[in-house]
Amino acid sequence: MIKNIIFDLDGTITNSYEGIVNAVKFSLDKINFKYDESKLISFIGPPLKDSYTELGFSEIESKERIEDFRDYYFKKGMKEMELYDGIVETIHKFYDEGYKIYLATSKVESSARKNLSDNNLLKYFSYTAGATMDQSRVEKEDVIAYLIDKTGINPEESIMVGDRHHDIEGARLNNIKAIAAGYGFGNAEEYKNAVFVADNPTDVYEFVINQNDR
C-alpha cells in the first residue's frame, strides 16, 4: 500500500521554466558564452553542475557559473514561476486523506522550502530534502537516500513523482517506484521506467488511489 508521496519540485509542482532559463542565460551572458536558448530547458531538473559540464565547462568553471546562476535566481528567478494547474488540489487531497507528503529536489534545500512557503504549501510536507549549497548532496539518488535516512519511510510504501529521468532513476536506485509527471519537461524516453505517466497532477492522485483500492 502506498502511504508516502515524494514530489520533485521543478517541472512537477512548479513550472519554473522562465526563472531557471533566465538564471542560466545570466550566468552565460556574463562571460559572453554563446548558446542555443532552445537547449537550456535541459537545466530544469538535473543538478546544475551536470548541466554546466555538458556545455563544456570544467568543474571549477561550473562552480563559478553556478554562483552567477544563484545570484540571479535568488534575487529574481524564484519569483519567475507558477504552480501547475491542479497541483494544489492534488496535494490537499493527499494530505486530507492521511498520506505523508515529502519533497526530494536537486534544488538547494533552503530555496526549495522558500518556494513551497511562498505558495502556502510548506505546511503540507512532512519533510523537505534538497541539495546542499556546496553541491556535496545534489544527485537525486542521494537526495532520496537522505530523505529515507532522515524520515525512516519504507521505500515499498512510497512513490516518487517527477518529470525527469533523474527522478525516476534516483527513485529506482532507492527501491522506490516512480510516476512520471508527463506535464513537466521530460520526454517519453525518460519515462520508460516509470510505472505510470501522469498527464496532469490529478492523474497522480487517481493512480495512487486506484493502486490502493486493489
Residues that are catalytic = 8
Other beta carbons within 10 Å of 139: 19
User: What are the backbone dihedrals phi and psi of residue 4, each rounded to the nearest 5 degrees, phi first?
Assistant: -120, 125
Q: What does each C-alpha distance from 176 to 63, 157, 166 come to in angstroms?
A: 31, 8, 13
